[in-house]
A and B are shown apart, each in its own frame.
Chain A
Amino acid sequence: MVCWDPRIEEMPKEDLQKMQYKLLKSLVYRLYSFSPFYHDRMKEQNVHPDDIRQLADVKKLPFMFKRDLRDNYPDKFFTASKEELVRYHVSSGTTGKPTVVGYTQNDLNLWTTSLARALTSAGLGRGDVIQVSYGYGLFTGGLGLHYGAERIGATVLPTSVGNTERQIELMQDLGATAIACTPSYLLHIGEVAEKMGIDIRKDTQLRTGILGAEPWTERMRVRMEDWLGIKAYDIYGTSELSGPMFTECSEQKGIHIWSDIALVEIIDPKTEEPLEPGEKGELTVTILQKEALPMVRYRIGDITSMDDEVCACGRTHPRIQRIQGRVDDMLIIRGINVFPSQIEYGLMGIPEVGQHFQIVVERKGALDDLLVRVELTKDSFSDKITDLMNIRKNVEHRLKSSLNVNVNVELVEPGTLPRFEGKSKKVIDKRSL
């Protein structure tokens, strides 16, 4: 196993926790002194920096939410002066005002270091050609991966998103060994390559995918690895934390969260109490060393669980499991919680339908109606109506038994569901509540 920074990555857990405590303590003092917002929050909660006497005391601190960032648009939250900022990123404001993230040079260095460790742990390094097919610009994906890949001495192919045929040509001509993009975009690339008569397995040198920015499933990984002949690694991060920061290591058993960079807690979203390792809850992150936009107990809204055992790779830092959904992605269908990721998981086990799907929720009379539209694959098309009806029934049955809610399935023609180059929008909720 190769580590980017073995001293930190293999540090005994007790030492890591001591380090986290020190960093947390100084962060809280700094915020109490310099962030009017956080000072007031702490006062409201009746907590003083002196109350933080051990790492577990983090739970005395107030939470931060996305709405706090929006309410303080664009930069009222920053604890660095304008002169100290070297970059902005802005997250898409699909549900309100956008979120602006500012970075000092140290913030960028921290982000890049985090990715350098992560990409190394996924087996990448000098000699690799990493195609960065995340959007470049205000979105953190493109530039984040770009600098991370350069830091480890890999060669960057900064294709950004779009113009898929050209992306595939360049992948072939310049011998890209890895690609960083959303899982749905990689599926799209795979389909376009097939149409162009290019077999990603044989005709390119691609062997690694660094995939994230949207939830995906274990079955999708298996399907993609088999289909494209790559190893697919999950990557995690959000713009508020800096951007994509953490990935799985070569063990592919969870995403290592570097303890000197972030302190993660999994809490019960209702009771707000910390949960045990292995229990599923809401991810809450404190970035321990961030200058321009500090984040303390930030409630990202992603749902996952944590594994604090030392990894088989030798790294001591805790791992989070793949994101299972978002607190706000959750659909409530007839009172039952349904995550789009569960639907994806169910569909991936059915060979007769393709990887793409669309969820349409409507209110019919007093009842919610859940419709899942799936593409019939070429190989499973039968001229017999009864065969097709059986495929549909089978999909309905499989989804119903895993979701505990009635599902209607519509078979659609291949290639007709929308494809996404960035984050996919798979849910259409027509209910006006």
Chain B
Amino acid sequence: MEPENFVIRQISIFSENRPGRLAAIAQALGEEKINILAFSIAEANGFGVVRALVDHPEKAHDKLQSLGFNVAFTEVIAVKMRDQPGGLYEIAKILGDAGINIEYSYAYSGKEGAVLILRVDQVGDAITKIRKTGATLLERSVFH
């Protein structure tokens, strides 16, 4: 399996911190029949960044850009976790021991189990290291 198969395209959207911005983004994606698989909001003073994994990232990017949003693709990776107490610890310890520095992260628990989404400095390097530990990385095809 080639390492790039594990690189997932997340869309990141710049948003002012005022009522209705998330609704505007979600409405646009809904209209395009784009499904949101996971998302998070990072907040700073006065603005935020909405990050989402969607089933059709290109379509989502173009739609949001046409509406004037500042949108970018960001490469992230997804690690499978046990959906049980201690599941996050197992993975977090593996990442720590492997010397992987996390820029940011969010998680979801779905039908196929729990998943930790990671944004790291060196994606390729991280993929190699994580695979060596025996942890399971989810392929891009799981999402889109």
Which residues of A lie under 8 Å from residue B49 when comparing CB positions? 383, 385, 388
Which A residues contact B (CB, under 8 angstroms)? 376, 378, 381-385, 388-389, 410-416
Q: Count A-B pairs with CB separation below 8 Å.
A: 44
- Could you jot down 12 A-B contacts, CB within 8 Å? A381-B14, A383-B10, A383-B12, A384-B104, A385-B42, A411-B14, A411-B46, A413-B15, A413-B68, A413-B70, A414-B70, A416-B16
**If the complex has contacts A389-B44, A411-B46, A411-B47, are A384 and B70 also in contact, measured as CB distance less than 8 A?**
no
Classify the secondary structure of B's interface with A. Answer: strand
Instruction: Report how far A381 CA is from B46 CA in the complex, Å.
Output: 15
B44 touches A381 (CB 8 A): no
A410 touches B68 (CB 8 A): no
The yes or no answer to B69 lying at the interface (CB within 8 A) is yes
**If the complex has contacts A378-B70, A414-B68, are A385 and B44 also in contact, measured as CB distance less than 8 A?**
yes
Instruction: Report how far A204 CA is from B15 CA in the complex, Å.
Output: 34
* Other A-B pairs, 17, CB within 8 Å; known A413-B14, A413-B15: A381-B70, A381-B72, A383-B12, A383-B49, A383-B51, A383-B72, A385-B42, A385-B44, A388-B47, A389-B44, A410-B46, A411-B46, A413-B68, A413-B69, A414-B70, A415-B68, A416-B16
Interface string of B39-54 (1 = CB under 8 A from A): 0001010110101000
The yes or no answer to B105 lying at the interface (CB within 8 A) is no
For A376, give its contact among B12, B14, B104 (CB under 8 Å). B14
Which residues of B lie under 8 Å from residue A384 when comparing CB positions? 103-104
The yes or no answer to B140 lying at the interface (CB within 8 A) is no
Which residues of B lie under 8 Å from residue A385 when comparing CB positions? 42, 44, 49
A375 to B: closest C-beta gap in Å: 9
Interface string of B99-137 (1 = CB under 8 A from A): 000011000000000000001000000000000000000
Instruction: Report how far A410 CA is from B104 CA in the complex, Å.
Output: 23
A382 touches B70 (CB 8 A): no
B77 to A: closest C-beta gap in Å: 14
Instruction: Report how far A286 CA is from B93 CA in the complex, Å.
Output: 80
B72 touches A412 (CB 8 A): no
Which residues of A lie under 8 Å from residue B74 when comparing CB positions? 383
- Chain B stretch 67-108: residues in CB contact (< 8 A) with chain A: 68-72, 74, 103-104
